[in-house]
Structure 1
């Protein structure tokens, strides 16, 4: 069994830690919100996990350091920057596994900084949301050296069902952003279909049933169609998370001078969604943007 430092105990991180504990690993936890250990993460402590005051302390003597935080800057901060960063106390030969969705260029820069101290790095963004994290069935895209991938596989298999090694460091993030492009553009298309049906007085439930059995059918339609029909905008996947990823892609394609017109249009719709105060709601709220 391994000693694992886990940084980031949000709705996705907590189930991952629970699976690692169940598998018998020793967990050393750090959260930027200490109050999480008094509430949501308390069962993890009762199951044997230990709490530390800084990322560096959590990483000391750990074989693996897992991060699941929000942004490129957040990952850089906890791993590389300042006296309390992981790099200050992590041992040579340890491997960082980052489940955050961040910029591929920033990912490579973080990996290069850690490599100078003999610390490995695998970018391992995930798809499937809280439901898949809770069920231990996450989809994971990996970027990193083959030797590091081989070492982390027994760890990530505790909570991921579909795992694909894409290529070098940063390529896992590229694949995740490709996933977000296809996913959210699809949600926008579903919202436009429902908006068009409603404007013509059609029964939305019957329209959904009809198109889901045809070539328009998809897992995303099966997920988002019923939510839009019933106007259930309670978050399955918070729109702010999709927006964060989409704006990340938009910045990257602008730097690369790529012309992705559908992405640019949907990014504008996500901006309107966020400006309307629906960021904590489901991304199916793109329908409400069209209605507004």
Structure 2
């Protein structure tokens, strides 16, 4: 199949690589030095999103934020200008559910299908093709693209209509952010109280507090390995989407609002490009204590 892929960053590059390895012809936009190997593997570089949409049956978008998706789809030389009836757009970015429904309606006017399919699993999951994929769209559209999604992920679910995938991703990001915060507070407490936080983490892995975040991000905190991963700046964006959606739904997310302040503090101190496990740096500064320090 001819597949378009727009957005070849930390996540997009390995995802596109799996599709090429599976035998699909990929049309690539935003090829940079880091993603040049995709062309060497057989991908075709395109000079615009419009050119990608014109050449491909399915167009995948994997860019950072809502405005980026809108620009790729509807900006000058955007995807919408290259669409013809029967094509499918898959947005695998993490963006606003409200904007997603609007984008889908505009794509439908061109006689094309739209599925939002954000992912969870980070760079490691993208490289291992083990991403969790939360999809929103019509059942028939989901069934048609499922073989493509299965090349990039393992836990793949149609959550509901268009926008439901983004809603599920926001829920995921709330839970992940709060759990990172809980792990950070627990390890900071252990360290300040005189215990070895790495040994405390190992002990907790055998009990009810055990989690993938304690396992992976707890180790990042104790080992001080904060290379992304998933950047604080991006997680802050996702939590902002959560809080904006909560306001529109007239619900309260007090713990989510609190963890957003920690992300803001990290960003203000220049940690926005670090892995989101570096959230602990905000707590360490507030407590004047670095774990293991």
Q: TM-score range by the shorter chain?
A: over 0.9
**Alignment RMSD:** 1.2
Is 1:80–1:114's contact at 8 Å kept on the other side of the alignment? no
- Report the equivalent of 1:48: 42
Equivalent positions of 1:170-209 (< 5 A) are 170-209=163-202
1:291 to partner: Cα distance: 1.4
Is 1:29–1:58's contact at 8 Å kept on the other side of the alignment? yes
* Residue 145 of structure 1 pairs with residue 144 of structure 2: no
| SS of aligned partner of 1:100 | coil
Give 5+ residue unaligned stretches, structure 1.
Answer: none
Give 5+ residue unaligned stretches, structure 2.
Answer: 286-293
1:257 to partner: Cα distance: 2.1
- Report the equivalent of 2:232: 239
- Report the equivalent of 1:76: 70
- Report the equivalent of 2:91: 98
1:64 equivalent among 49, 52, 58: 58
Q: Distance in 1 between matches of 2:205 and 2:52?
A: 48
2:266 equivalent among 249, 273, 279: 273
Is 1:56–1:87's contact at 8 Å kept on the other side of the alignment? yes
Q: Distance in 1 between matches of 2:229 and 2:59?
A: 28
- Report the equivalent of 1:213: 206
1:80 to partner: Cα distance: 2.1
Q: Which moved more, 1:143-152 or 1:191-200?
A: 191-200
| SS of aligned partner of 1:45 | helix
Normalised by the length of structure 1, the TM-score is 0.94
1:43 to partner: Cα distance: 1.6
2:154 equivalent among 145, 161, 178: 161
